[in-house]
Structure 1
Amino acid sequence: MFRHLLLPTDGSAAAGRALSDALQFARDAGARVTILHVVPEFHVFTYKTDMLEDTRAEFLRDSEAHATRLLEQAAAQARTAGVPCETRMARSDQPHEAITAAAREGGCDLIAMATHGLGGLRGMLIGSVTQKVLSTSLIPVLVYRTE
């Protein structure tokens, strides 16, 4: 039924558990996966614009190195599970938009992701990436709830 899963990860413990479960699901379904990590854009508030260039370059370098390590670890898990895998990094301040765009552009037929379970006022104020994906995606979303 599902042939290409998008597995977004933020590197958290919850996302790691969801990734493991989703890889098992993909293996059982004979599906391939694309693992996505969304990196935030660079932002700084300062009145000294001459400081920005080095800071921006350092941020870009560090965030890309972190994403590369995270995606390499996830791809190794996929290989161990025997699941065909590709990785992708996106840069966006709106992770839910990057996730739905990656699924659409990649021809994915399922997005499988974790939720951190923020509820009540905290969840409303902070907002949940998973909730935003659920409410905007035209592709089915499988949510792994972890405690």
Structure 2
Amino acid sequence: MFKSILVPTDGSQLSERAAQTAIEFAKIHGARMTAVSVIVPLPVVPLTDAAVLPDAGLYDLKMRRNVEAGLDKIVAAAAAAGVPCDAVLGEAVSPYEVIVKTAEERHCDIILMASHGRKGLNKLFLGSETQKVLAHTHLPVLVLR
């Protein structure tokens, strides 16, 4: 039934556990996986004319290294389990857009992702990429906590 699984990751331990579940899910279904992670550009909100801005180039380099390491870890774990897996690295202000677009482009049957389960004001201010994915895709989404 499921032949192509999309696994978004933010590099957190929760995402790593979701990836392990996705690998087992893929083995059961004889599916291939695509791991996707998104680099969010450094938000810059100058409060005065003399705002001190962080080094955007250094931020991008560190983010890219961290994201690539997380994707490499998932690809290696899938390979060790005999599950074909490729990786997609995207860049966007809103990660859900890359997740939904990648699922469509890769003809995925399901998105399997973690949710941090934030509550209250944290959920309001931080938003939920999982909620946004659910709202913008027609695919089934398996949410793991």
CA distance in 2, matches of 1:123, 1:43: 19
CA distance in 1, matches of 2:45, 2:134: 32
Q: Which residue of 2 aligns with 1:44?
A: 44
Q: Report the AA paired with residue 9 of structure 2.
A: T
CA distance in 2, matches of 1:88, 1:134: 20
Q: Report the AA paired with residue 136 of structure 1.
A: H
Structure 2: segments with no counterpart, 5+ residues: none
CA distance in 2, matches of 1:90, 1:8: 11
SS of corresponding position for 2:55? helix
SS of corresponding position for 1:123? helix
SS of corresponding position for 1:26? helix
Structure 1: segments with no counterpart, 5+ residues: none
**What does residue range 101-116 of structure 1 map to in structure 2 within 5 Å?**
101-116=101-116
**What does residue range 1-147 of structure 1 map to in structure 2 within 5 Å?**
1-46=1-46, 47=49, 55-145=55-145
SS of corresponding position for 2:144? strand
Q: Report the AA paired with residue 60 of structure 2.
A: L
**TM-score, structure 2 as length reference:** 0.89
The share of aligned pairs that are identical, in percent, is 38
Q: Report the AA paired with residue 35 of structure 1.
A: A
Q: Tell me how far 1:121 sits from its aligned partner.
A: 4.0
**TM-score, structure 1 as length reference:** 0.88
Q: Report the AA paired with residue 68 of structure 1.
A: E
CA distance in 1, matches of 2:50, 2:32: 48
